[in-house]
Structure 1
Amino acid sequence: MAAAGEGAWRPADGEHDSYQSPLARRYASADMCFLFSDRYKFRTWRQLWLWLAEAEQTLGLPITDEQIQEMKSNLDNIDFKVAAEEEKQLRHDVMAHVHTFGRCCPKAAGIIHLGATSCYVGDNTDLIILRNASNLLLPKLARVIARLTDFAKEHAGLPTLGFTHFQPAQLTTVGKRCCLWIQDLCMDLRNLKRVQDDLCFRGVKGTTGTQASFLQLFEGDHQKVEQLDKMVTEKAGFKRAFIITGQTYTRKVDIEVLLALASLGASVHKICSDIRLLAHLKEMEEPFEKQQIGSSAMAYKRNPMRAERCCSLARHLITLAMNPLQTAAVQWLERTLDDSANRRISLAEAFLTADAVLNTLQNISEGLVIYPKVIERRIRQELPFMATENIIMAMVKAGGNRQDCHEKIRVLSQQAAAVVKQEGGDNDLIKRIQADAYFSPIHSQLDRLLDPSSFTGRAPQQVQRFLEEEVYPLLKPYESVMKVKAELCL
């Protein structure tokens, strides 16, 4: 059989006959995909050309109302086929769309892109998309936090075995553990909002950022050039523009944005790894639908496929942070074009991946299931060893000798451990203590000494204080969007 691309069999062309990004096809929301679509991008280019023309007209350049109206009427009239043909000839995407826009705006064709450079539409559109894409992510992240907050509040006092190094450790509570997840996500919410708030518009800066072309258009009037920059910035909905740019806005902006998303990816990976571990222990499960199949071979399985998907996508999101770091490092002088192809991929994929991860995590957090009896059984297996210090203290208070008691406990503990490890039996330390006459002074206290809630410290109180002081205030701006449910396409 011929190798692919060398006469190999191919079906008729169609939507299933060419590679399509799984991010768009399987995982990310339609809203996020639209923000990174050609239609949204090139429509925004046209909107930027219109804003520029309107501002230039207001400041006295010879641009007519008829030309402005013609541009307004054709913002959505994009002939993508013509634009592609133009780009194939010109090898310049911006000029291809200048010509395409000019074809449907013959009266305005001569003033479209007046005084601007390609980065006027390219970079400013990217900044608009980064801002608007963040607007899509922030409520989704807030909803994930809110769902986990409800879960943490409900289980604030439910004791569970803690783990360090994935080895049994002191008890915590289910709600307290969930707050560890929430705390990381709250940091991500604050970080992403800060990055969004820090976004500046590139504005109207010209070919190398000096605004020389606009200064010439306005015959040396510096004030009008500054007004032009300010007017277009306000039309685009930004509070401020960069004062200093080269041909592009500094690519360190992309670093800030993608690092915030990568940090979110790290948080989600940690949370979903924890869920997967707890699913293995049968203490917690993600939602599992009635018709869902866990394995094609092993019919009994309930694999945590949603959490696994989150981990898989989160790893991709984390690795994408390397792209803007390396791109910013190699920008020569006022600019070089080796950022372009990379940014087309990395910026879009970062937001689509973050969107997919949050959609999936919200779905998980809306249907988390815990199994208290399994949790209780595991506590019973480990708590007797943890309770030995309390038992020794109680014996001393009852008149016993600390050293004698410690030796008794040591011997009995080793015997019980042998039953667990060598025979596969249950931890019978308490039964051994109950059967030993030496411990008769505290036999009546054993139930109280072994109450799991007495081993969780201030975990319930910490949950309450954390939610009230840190989480609820952070979520307040998002109250109006909290009812949206997460549905997975696949």
Structure 2
Amino acid sequence: MELSPLNAISPIDGRYRNKVENLARFFSEEALIRYRVLVEIEYFIALCETPLPQLREFDHALFKSLRAIYENFTPVDAQSIKEIERTTNHDVKAVEYFIKEQFDALNLQQYKEFIHFGLTSQDINNTAIPLSIKQAVEQEYIPQLNQVIEKLETLSREWAMVPMLARTHGQPASPTRLGKEIEVFVVRLRTQASWLTQIPYAAKFGGATGNFNAHKVAYPGIDWKEFGTSFVENKLGLHHSFPTTQIEHYDQMAALFDTMKRINTILIDLDRDIWTYISMDYFKQRIKKGEVGSSAMPHKVNPIDFENSEGNLGIANAILEHLAAKLPVSRLQRDLTDSTVLRNVGVPFAHASIGFQATLKGLGKLLLNADRFESDLENNWAVVAEAIQTILRREGYPNPYEALKGLTRTNSRINKETIAEFIDTLEVNEDIRRELKQISPSNYTGI
């Protein structure tokens, strides 16, 4: 059966493929193979530059030809490697054999044994995968996250002066402003995004058990630790973990996934709040001509974008949670469990991307229902009781909290008039009485 969006098992390769196809450049099988080829080629060039005695003849023209192997990498090349893998039953060894074939084509047969020289497969995987993640974060994830943050910043400014009844524990509480409530999410997301950029993309590079054993026994006069650090950090732009076992610790990768999870959690919180505001009629939703809100009820416009976002971000978090908890744990010097779970790294990225796009789409459809904000405030004059009792405390008035508590809990309907009548009963001077009467739910919004 030929794979298509209709028969794909995963919705990220089916229904949502058009939303996440850019991630294939980093997380598909073809992408992983290409990144492995890149690391192998750059490693060979680094050996030439050391220089090893047998590789002194190489120059920049030859380096350019070698780099063309991964720079011009095609699906046909990837398929060739998969065909080799059918025989080797080892994915990284298949890459090595493919590059050796390319060396044959370039008339470089005598240098083929320096491909993958002294390495184990994890030296390739633990550099190729962090490099793909780093580039995916920089080129796709952060730009999408910034789009969401920038949209929220725009709405925060647009609604900066819209007074709104707050609700704590689901009950009417001291008024706030809509723009400020949106700004809360902006600050939370900005903080996590800042931490995200501080996490290093760590890579293991050191041979079969991390000690450069094979390198040292072959060329004991070379500082292989310095070579490995220079290669990983200067050539690949990653952080060299040392010492390690056969595999990377994955502690920094776990930190990245935990931070991504917190970002998703903040957006889930936003999605649920906006969903609730829509249910309270604080917002209407802009719809396109021809769209259907409900299959059965013509009047409905469902907040599906925020629901879609919440669901996808939840799936992303479930996988990120497992990756962050599982990857740093490996039996002794290594087991293979990291290999199979790392093949799923692109899945939470894809679901997070779908979630970001859905939230952004939902935010773009919001229409402020100003009348509903105003009526909610007008129907909840009891919330100014806090303001009145606080000013009375300032003035040394006896038992102000208890006086307001008696008013608000025994009177079934509190409005502007009942508050004014209560103020008139207070034994305070006229200036204080005027000050108290100027307070309303719509202007008692703090700073």
Q: Which bracket does the TM-score occupy, shorter chain normalised?
A: 0.7 to 0.9
Map 1:362-381 onto structure 2 (within 5 A): 362-381=360-379
* AA partner of residue 318 (structure 2): T
Shift of 1:67: 6.8
* AA partner of residue 166 (structure 2): G
Given that 2:383 and 2:441 are in contact with CA atoms closer than 8 Å, whether structure 1 keeps it comes out as: no
Map 1:416-455 onto structure 2 (within 5 A): 416-417=412-413, 429-430=415-416, 449=438, 451-455=440-444
Does 1:123 find its partner at 2:126?
Answer: yes
Does 1:46 find its partner at 2:43?
Answer: no
* AA partner of residue 104 (structure 1): Q
Partner of 2:341: 342
- SS of corresponding position for 1:162: strand
Can you list the C-alpha shifts for 1:81-119, whole angstroms capped at 9, x where unaligned?
332232233221111222233333323543321222111
Partner of 1:215: 216
* AA partner of residue 54 (structure 2): P
- SS of corresponding position for 1:387: helix
Map 1:246-285 onto structure 2 (within 5 A): 246-285=245-284
Q: Which has the higher contact order (CA 8 A, sep 6+)?
A: 1
- SS of corresponding position for 2:167: strand
Partner of 1:290: 289
Q: Distance in 2 between matches of 1:34 and 1:116?
A: 26
Partner of 2:236: 236
Distance verdict in 2 for CA 1:171–1:434, change over 3 Å: closer
Shift of 1:291: 3.0
Q: Distance in 2 between matches of 1:132 and 1:172?
A: 41
Given that 1:55 and 1:232 are in contact with CA atoms closer than 8 Å, whether structure 2 keeps it comes out as: no
Q: Distance in 1 between matches of 2:417 and 2:78?
A: 79
- SS of corresponding position for 1:113: coil
- Identical-residue share of aligned pairs (%): 18
Distance verdict in 2 for CA 1:309–1:37, change over 3 Å: same
Can you list the C-alpha shifts for 1:148-173, whole angstroms capped at 9, x where unaligned?
12221222222100011121111001
Q: Distance in 2 between matches of 1:381 and 1:331?
A: 60
Q: Which structure 1 segments of 5+ residues have no match?
A: 1-11, 418-426, 459-490
Given that 2:160 and 2:180 are in contact with CA atoms closer than 8 Å, whether structure 1 keeps it comes out as: yes
Distance verdict in 2 for CA 1:184–1:117, change over 3 Å: same
Given that 1:29 and 1:356 are in contact with CA atoms closer than 8 Å, whether structure 2 keeps it comes out as: yes
* AA partner of residue 171 (structure 2): Q
Partner of 1:103: 101
**Which shifted more, 272-281 or 89-98?**
89-98
Partner of 2:321: 322
Given that 1:251 and 1:324 are in contact with CA atoms closer than 8 Å, whether structure 2 keeps it comes out as: no
Partner of 1:5: none
* AA partner of residue 202 (structure 1): K
- SS of corresponding position for 1:156: coil
Map 1:39-78 onto structure 2 (within 5 A): 39-58=30-49, 59-63=51-55, 64-65=57-58, 68=63, 71-75=66-70, 76-77=73-74, 78=76
Q: Which structure 2 segments of 5+ residues have no match?
A: none
Alignment partner for residue 445 of structure 2, among 441, 451, 456? 456
Normalised to the residue count of structure 2, the TM-score between the two structures is: 0.83
Can you list the C-alpha shifts for 1:275-328, whole angstroms capped at 9, x where unaligned?
000000010245533332211111111111111111111211222233234424
Partner of 2:173: 169
Map 1:372-411 onto structure 2 (within 5 A): 372-383=370-381, 385-388=382-385, 406=403
* AA partner of residue 455 (structure 1): Y
Partner of 1:178: 182
- SS of corresponding position for 1:29: helix
* AA partner of residue 164 (structure 2): T
Does 1:134 find its partner at 2:137?
Answer: yes
Q: Distance in 2 between matches of 1:45 and 1:436?
A: 77
Shift of 1:188: 1.5
Alignment partner for residue 202 of structure 2, among 200, 203, 211? 200
Given that 1:51 and 1:232 are in contact with CA atoms closer than 8 Å, whether structure 2 keeps it comes out as: no
Normalised to the residue count of structure 1, the TM-score between the two structures is: 0.77
Distance verdict in 2 for CA 1:311–1:88, change over 3 Å: same
Distance verdict in 2 for CA 1:229–1:215, change over 3 Å: farther
* AA partner of residue 264 (structure 2): G
Can you list the C-alpha shifts for 1:382-431, whole angstroms capped at 9, x where unaligned?
12x223566789999xxx9999x959x957974544xxxxxxxxx7x445
Partner of 2:115: 112
Given that 1:157 and 1:173 are in contact with CA atoms closer than 8 Å, whether structure 2 keeps it comes out as: yes
Q: Distance in 2 between matches of 1:134 and 1:393?
A: 49
The count of aligned residue pairs is 425
Alignment partner for residue 157 of structure 1, among 157, 161, 170? 161
Q: Distance in 2 between matches of 1:341 and 1:267?
A: 29
Given that 1:262 and 1:320 are in contact with CA atoms closer than 8 Å, whether structure 2 keeps it comes out as: no
Can you list the C-alpha shifts for 1:304-359, whole angstroms capped at 9, x where unaligned?
111111111121122223323442454012111112111211x2122222222223
Q: Distance in 2 between matches of 1:275 and 1:237?
A: 40
Distance verdict in 2 for CA 1:327–1:309, change over 3 Å: same
